Amino acid sequence: MTVLEEAEVEDRELTFEEELDASLEKVWRALSVPELAAEWLVAPGRDDVSFRIVDAEPFSRMRYAWCDGAGESLVTVEIWPSGEGRTGFRLTHGARSSTMMLRAANGNSPPRLRRAA
């Protein structure tokens, strides 16, 4: 392995927690309908980023495999009811547990979701 192919990354996670002014059902739609999810998950102009849903617990938790030019990581979104018409929201983005490989976008994976052009 060259230094380029293997960058040791400690187990690290980013967590963001919010309360959203929207119903649980509406928030779930924004997480699960592909066009809606791509609209907010992927920043404009970031055509190096793609994601796919790997796990879904309706109205509770969504997991996306997140792929940028540096490799694949995991984005988890948890939601819960939080009072009248409000929804608790927690997004966690975790690195791979040991090494992060720099690769070209994989050829064999299922189709990935990208932001609409």
Partner 1 sequence: MNESDVFRALADPTRRQVFERLLAGRRNATELREGLGVSQPAISQHLAVLRGANLISEERAGRHVHYGVNPDGLVPLIDWLARYRDYWPARIDRLKTLLGEMDQ
Is residue 12 a contact point for partner 1 (CB under 8 A)?
Answer: yes
Residues binding partner 1: what is the number (CB under 8 A)? Answer: 40
Is residue 112 a contact point for partner 1 (CB under 8 A)?
Answer: no
Nearest Cα residue to 100 out of 11, 13, 10, 9: 9
Q: Which is nearer to partner 1, 104 or 117 (CB)?
A: 104
Is residue 101 a contact point for partner 1 (CB under 8 A)?
Answer: no
**What is the contact surface with partner 1 in residues (CB under 8 A)?**
2-4, 7, 9, 12, 14, 16, 18, 20-23, 25-27, 29-30, 36, 39-41, 43, 45-49, 68-70, 89, 91, 93, 95, 100, 102-105
